Amino acid sequence: MTHVLEVTDVSKSFTMHLRGGVVLPVVRDVRFSVSAGECVVLAGPSGIGKSSILKMIFGSYRCDAGAIRIHHAPHATDVTQAAPREIIVLRKRVIAYVSQFLRAVPRVAALDVAAEPLIASGTARDAARDRAANLLNYLNVPERLRELPPATFSGGEQQRVNIARGFVGEHPLLLLDEPTASLDAENRAAVVRLINERKRRGAAMLAIVHDLDVRDAIADRLIDVSAFAAAA
């Protein structure tokens, strides 16, 4: 199998500047890979560093040490060494990130929020909106809501817009942080089908999922992040 993501000896800590520079270690010597067509789930208790690992891969957090290589033909980019402009290109073409919370520009319609990553990658606006509309329909977001800003939606509706936004493109690598946490059983099942269908089409996925039924339905491998917990 072809590795899309390789994480090698990665460590992360936070410096609390308002607390006299106290250093809080998070993870150390994190090492794993994710291949095309595979979903790897990061396991372990809350607060162990799972979301921090996703954010380092996405380039939102800097690493203290190690390498994070993302393979995208014909290149491989080490996120830990990449310039901001390279991170922007990766996010447009290679990495999609479904966070726990939707962050959207106020007063922008849900349909445009979901379509925006596809438009940013060069797809015509009408085609991108059509693709986004199909995903929102699949995820049971009512048509009457699609021209409204998602800030007015319930938590579950916002999360479904967030999932549509993450899956609207054909990114080779998807990072999923509790994608089903706010959803009812019907919509959890729809997201599980979406994840497995995208796997069959060759996407590599790294997920955080605490729902054991969802985890069992999507995971090809588990990685226990407790093994990488940094000592205080």
Q: pLDDT digit string (tens) for 184-193?
A: 999 999 999 9
**Could you report the per-residue pLDDT of 130-179, keeping only the tens digit for each?**
999 999 999 999 999 999 999 888 888 999 999 999 999 999 999 999 99
pLDDT of 1 reads 61
Query: Strand, coil or helix: what is 210?
Result: coil
Look at residue 229 in the predicted model and tell me its pLDDT: 86
Going by C-alpha positions, the residue among 167, 157, 212 that lies closest to residue 194 is 167
Structure-token pair, residue 10? 């990665």
Q: What percent of the chain has pLDDT over 70?
A: 98
Q: What is the pLDDT of residues 61-85, one digit of tens each?
A: 999 999 999 998 788 999 999 999 9
User: What burial class does residue 55 get, using C-beta atoms within 10 Å of its C-beta: 0-12 exposed, 13-18 middle, 19+ buried?
Assistant: middle
Confidence of residue 201 (pLDDT cuts 50, 70, 90): very high
pLDDT of residue 135: 96
Question: pTM for the full model?
Answer: 0.93
Q: Look at residue 198 and tell me whether its pLDDT is greater than 60.
A: yes
d(CA 180, CA 192): 9
